[in-house]
Chain A
Amino acid sequence: MIAVLGLVAGVVVGLLVRPEVPAVVEPYLPIAVVAALDAVFGGLRAMLDGIFVDKVFVVSFLSNVVVAALIVFLGDKLGVGSQLSTGVVVVLGIRIFSNAAAIRRHVFRA
């Protein structure tokens, strides 16, 4: 419950405060958000499976974000930034879908 509240608070603060994102971070923000979403869905699934551990969630969340940003950074340096971002988004999207499928089986039994 508190976790859901945290998400809502984050969205509200982001919309109201309109913080300025530093230009260095700006290109990595979307991909980091997608990676974090993947971690959240994984965590939700683990919770439904009864195997959720907060430490694992924290580590996976942070490492997902960092690795995704790193891949984009590397891609930019190599000149294949947009293609690599697309690849990362595709992979994360597949993972999000499979996790969502598992969650769905738990919640709807279907």
Chain B
Amino acid sequence: MSTNGTPPEEPNVPEQPLVEGTPAPAGAPEESGRRRLAAGLWPPRLSRAQLIVALLLFVLGLGLAIQVRSNSDSGPLRGARQEDLVRILDELDGRTKRLEDEKQKLEEQRKELESSSNQAEEARKQTVEKERQLGILAGTVAAQGPGITLRITDPKGQVQSDQLLDTLQELRAAGAEAIQINGVRVVAGSFFSDEGGGVAIDGKKITQPYEFRVIGKPQDLEPALNIPGGVVQTLEKEQATANVTRSAKIVVDALRAAKQPDYARSSSS
């Protein structure tokens, strides 16, 4: 590109070079160009041309800074074309939908888990309830409820273990649910034995008076003991006295240790 033959569409170069403003030195054109640049730069002259150019360059710098800043401070979407934006929006919509679906699925799962845990809780409650009921039967938990107290006084020592066993069977037949005799819980596996003039239940010696605490329906238990030829009359034949007292609240608080069977295992599950 020649320095003199500028194309006519070059806007900054006038048709006729005006050289009166700058003295053309006799040296090489490169030298003169450098000198002109240096001369324009260093002694800052306040000429009209300098001011106008400064104004335009100010505008340019302003635009440059604004553009750079607006490009840099607002993410990658700023320069994106419309199609790209539409595509991105579509993708976001799809992603939102997928996430919504996933959320719904997870919520359903959560609901399921909650209901199943509710069921598990219910089953656990029922198990606990069952355990309590079975504990009453097995004698591992205390029980209370309506029932009777049977007190047998035997001043002559005529009452034997078989009579106490008869009494117990009679009470069971009448629907007794929890029984303790003188602080010994009587369960299905209890046994009576005569021991040196006294009676032992499950190997524990008990002494007179024999006090039965029985939980059950009092209206059934009392007549069962008092029927003619029943327990009370038989005991009275042996010179013993038997008092039956109904009570709205009988506490059976003697306990037995739960015994793990050595050989028998549950066949279910």
Chain A residues at the B interface, C-beta cutoff of 8 Å: 1-15, 18-19, 21, 26, 29-30, 32-33, 36-37, 39-40, 42-43, 45-54, 56-61, 63-64, 82, 98, 101-102, 105-107, 109
Please tell me if B227 contacts chain A, counting CB pairs below 8 Å. no
Chain B neighbourhood of A10, CB < 8 A: 57-65
A91 to chain B minimum Cβ distance, whole angstroms, is 11
Name the interface size band of chain B. Answer: 35 or more
List residues of B (19-52) whose CB comes within 8 Å of A's CBs.
Answer: 19, 21-22, 24, 29-30, 32-34, 36-37, 40-46, 48-52
Give the number of residue pairs across the A-B interface with Cβ within 8 Å: 169
Please tell me if B89 contacts chain A, counting CB pairs below 8 Å. no
CA distance A72 to B183 in the complex (A): 106
Chain B residues at the A interface, C-beta cutoff of 8 Å: 1, 3-4, 10-14, 17-19, 21-22, 24, 29-30, 32-34, 36-37, 40-46, 48-67, 69-70, 81
Interface-central residue, B22, B34, B56, B67, by most chain A CB under 10 Å = B56
Chain A neighbourhood of B11, CB < 8 A: 39, 42, 56, 59-60, 63-64
- In the bound complex, do residue B61 and residue A53 qualify as a contact, i.e. CB atoms below 8 Å apart? no
B-side interface mostly: helix
Residue of B nearest to A105 (CB): B30
B154 to chain A minimum Cβ distance, whole angstroms, is 110
- Provided the pairs A2-B44, A58-B52, A107-B34 are in contact, do residues A30 and B67 lie with their beta carbons within 8 angstroms? yes
A46 to chain B minimum Cβ distance, whole angstroms, is 5
**Other-chain contact of A36, B52, B63, B66, B70 (Cβ < 8 Å):** B63
B134 to chain A minimum Cβ distance, whole angstroms, is 81
- In the bound complex, do residue A57 and residue B53 qualify as a contact, i.e. CB atoms below 8 Å apart? yes
- Provided the pairs A14-B69, A33-B67, A106-B34 are in contact, do residues A47 and B13 lie with their beta carbons within 8 angstroms? no
**Other-chain contact of B58, A9, A37, A39 (Cβ < 8 Å):** A9
**Other-chain contact of A107, B37, B51, B52, B57 (Cβ < 8 Å):** B37
Ranked 5 nearest A-B pairs via Cβ = A10-B61, A14-B65, A6-B54, A60-B11, A106-B33
